[in-house]
Amino acid sequence: MLLTILPTRRLAEFSAPLLNERSGEGQFLSPPWGKPGWQASAQTNFIKQTIKTSASHHLHCLCREESGHTYYIMGNPKAFLSIHRKEAGYRPVGERIHDFSEVEQTLNTHDRREQASRCMDCGVPFCHWACPLGNKCPEWNDALYRGKWELAYKILTSTNPFPEFTGRICPALCEKSCVLQLTMHEPTTNREDECAIMERAWQESYIVPCPPEKRTGKSVAVIGGGPAGLSAAWYLNRQGQTVDVYDANEKAGGLLRYGIPNFKLQKEVIDRRIHLMEAEGIQFHYGVRVPLQSDSFSMEELEKAIGKHDAYVIATGTPTARDLNIPGRELKGVHLALDLLSQQNRILEGELPDAKDLVTAQGKHVLVIGGGDTGSDCIGTAHRQGCLSVTQIEIMPKPPVGDNPATPWPAWPVVLKTTSSHEEGCERRWLLNTNRFIGKNGKLTGAEVEGVVWEPNPQGGRPIMKLDGHKEIIRCDLVLLAMGFLKPQHPQYPQGVFVTGDSASGASLVVRAIAAGKKTAQEVEDFLKKE
C-alpha cells in the first residue's frame, strides 16, 4: 500500500472530513530531516533508506522502513536535482495574436506530475508565508505527484475557493518565495499545478454543488461581484447565511470579467463558477447601483436600494482610474485603459458599442502610459485589434533583470517582467514623463515626453522626481492611460457594514482580494453571532 506522510504541524489546519478521508492512507509523522537516521543509513541499524519505483507510473518516492512499517515522505526529495522547472509556455505568437483564446498552454499529465514532484516539502515552507491565502502547496503538490487528483483538489480548495482564477492570473507569490528560487532560480510550478488540478476537478466532476445543510436565518448583502465580493459570498454561504450579491454590471466578475482580457482568462471559467454558486443558494442581482457616495450615504437609501439585511459587505473595488490631466487630454484618441479592455471583453460577449463610442487600435500607432499589468493587457489587446505599433512608457526606472538586492528572497522581487503581450511586439521605455498631448483638428497625433531623474529625498521616503530637459515627440493616434486606480474614500459606516478587497485597501492582486473576502466573511459571522 502506498502511504502518504504529512507533517503533523499542518494537520490541524485541515477540516475534519478531509482528515477522516485521509486517515486510511497511512501514518502521519513529522518530517524526519535532521534526525540521525536520515543523515546516512550506515549510522543506524533500524532505518533503511531506499528508492522505490511505482510500477504504474514510473515515478520515484523516498521511503524508510522501521519496525516492519514503510513510511513515505511527501513528494520526491531528490526530484529537484534531476528534474528542471518546465513551464507550459505560450502558443506561438503568429497564431495567438489572431484570436482572444487563452495564450497559455498545458503540460501533459506525466510532465505535470513530474513538476509537482519537485516540491521539496521544506521544513519551513515559505510558500505558505508568501501566499495571502496560506495555500498548502507541498500538500497538494504531493497528492498531484502521486496521481491523487481528487485529494489534491480537496487540499487546494481547503484554503482557496477559486483556484481556477489564481491558477491563471496570480503572479505566484509562492513561487518567488520557494527555496528552489533561492538556490537554483527554478522554483516549483505552483500556479500551473493548481490550474491543472482544478481543470481535472471540473472534468472529472469532483466539483458539485454543496449548499449548506442548515441556514442560520441571517441574510447578508454583498455589494460588488468582483473577486473579493465573490469570495466573501462563497464563505458566507458556507456558514449558512442567506447571501445576495448585487452588482452594477450585467454579469458578475468585476475586473475578472471586464478588465482582464480573454487571452488570459476566458469568461467561461467565471460563468461556470457563478453557476455553481447559484446552485449552492447564492442569489445574484445585476444592474443594481447602490448609493455609497461618501457625501450622501445613508442606511435608509441603502436599504431602499437593495432591501434590509442583517449585514452588508461592500466590495466595489477601485472604480476610479488614475487620470492624466495635462494639455491635450480632451483630444479624440486619449482613453483610460479600461475604455479599451472592458469594451473589447463586452464585444466578445456579443455586446456591440455604437460606432461613435468604439475604442479600437486597428491601424493605429498606440502609446501605453503605465508599465504594470494593465498596460501589458492593453498591448496584447492592441495587437489583436490590428495596431501598427505599440510603445509602452513608464515614469519609474527600469527594474533590474534577474535579481534585485533591494528585494531579496523570500520577498517579492521587483525585477523586469516580460509578459506574453510584451513578447508579441512592443517598444518599452522608462524614465519618461508625459508633458502634453498633441493633436490636429481635435484628433491625437502625438505625445510630448520628457526624461526624468529620481533623486534621493533628504527627508527620506519616496525619491524626488526632476525633469532633465530632454524632450521628444512620440507619434501616436491612440493613447491608453494605464497608471493604476485611486483608493476609494468611504464614510464612517455603522455597525454591520463591512468594507473588503480593493475597496478597502486600494488596487492590489486578485489573490489578495480573495483572501480579504475570506477574512471579511469571518468578521461578518462573528458580528452576526453577537446579534
pLDDT (tens digit per residue) in 337-351: 999 999 999 999 999
What is the DSSP secondary-structure string of 80-136? HHH-------B--HHHHTTS-S--B----HHHHHHHHHT----SS-HHHHHSTT---
- With vertex at residue 424, the alpha carbon angle to CA 420 and CA 426, rounded to the nearest 5 degrees, is 105
Determine the 3-state secondary structure of 482 from DSSP. Answer: coil
Beta bridge partners of 453: 466
Lowest mean pLDDT: which of 101-105, 154-158, 302-306, 468-472?
A: 302-306
Cβ atoms within 10 Å, residue 387: 20
Task: Inform me whether the pLDDT recorded for 67 exceeds 70.
Answer: no
Is residue 37 within 8 Å of 44, Cβ to Cβ?
yes
Domains in the chain, please, with CATH?
Answer: 8-203 (1.10.1060.10), 219-319+487-530 (3.50.50.60), 334-481 (3.50.50.60)
Per-residue pLDDT at 296: 75
Identity of the residue numbered 312: Y
Task: Inform me whether the pLDDT recorded for 282 exceeds 90.
Answer: yes
Residue 331 to residue 479: CA distance in whole angstroms: 10
Per-residue pLDDT at 258: 97
Task: Inform me whether the pLDDT recorded for 501 exceeds 60.
Answer: yes
* Chain centroid offset of residue 108 CA: 23
Is residue 202 within 8 Å of 162, Cβ to Cβ?
no
Averaged confidence pLDDT in the chain: 87
**Mean predicted confidence (pLDDT) in 486-506:** 95
Is residue 120 within 8 Å of 179, Cβ to Cβ?
yes
**178-228 pLDDT, tens per residue?**
999 998 899 999 999 999 999 999 999 999 999 999 999 999 999 999 999
Q: What is the helix (H) or strand (E) element at residue 390, kind and residue range?
A: strand 389-394
Lowest mean pLDDT: which of 73-87, 159-173, 188-202, 431-445?
A: 73-87
List C-alpha distances in Å: 217 to 137, 211, 320, 412: 36, 15, 36, 43
- With vertex at residue 283, the alpha carbon angle to CA 278 and CA 285, rounded to the nearest 5 degrees, is 120
SS (HEC) of 250-314: CCCCCHHHHCCCCCCCCHHHHHHHHHHHHHCCCEEEECCCCCCCCCCCCHHHHHHHHCCCCEEEE
- Does a cis peptide bond (omega within 30 degrees of 0) precede residue 410? yes
Count helices and strands (H / E) in the chain.
Answer: 21, 16
Residue 458 to residue 470: CA distance in whole angstroms: 25
**252-268 pLDDT, tens per residue?**
999 999 999 999 999 99
Task: Inform me whether the pLDDT recorded for 60 exceeds 60.
Answer: no
State the alpha helices, DSSP H only, in 419-468: 420-423
**69-111 pLDDT, tens per residue?**
554 556 677 899 999 999 999 999 999 999 999 999 999 999 9
Q: Sorting pLDDT into bands at 50, 70 and 90, what band is 124?
A: confident
Per-residue pLDDT at 73: 59
Per-residue pLDDT at 75: 64
**135-151 pLDDT, tens per residue?**
999 999 999 999 999 99
Name the residue with higher pLDDT: 430 or 52.
430
Task: Inform me whether the pLDDT recorded for 524 exceeds 70.
Answer: yes
* Chain centroid offset of residue 157 CA: 15
Per-residue pLDDT at 461: 85
Q: Tell me which residue of 337, 391, 338 sits closest to 364, measured CA to CA.
A: 391
Per-residue pLDDT at 122: 81
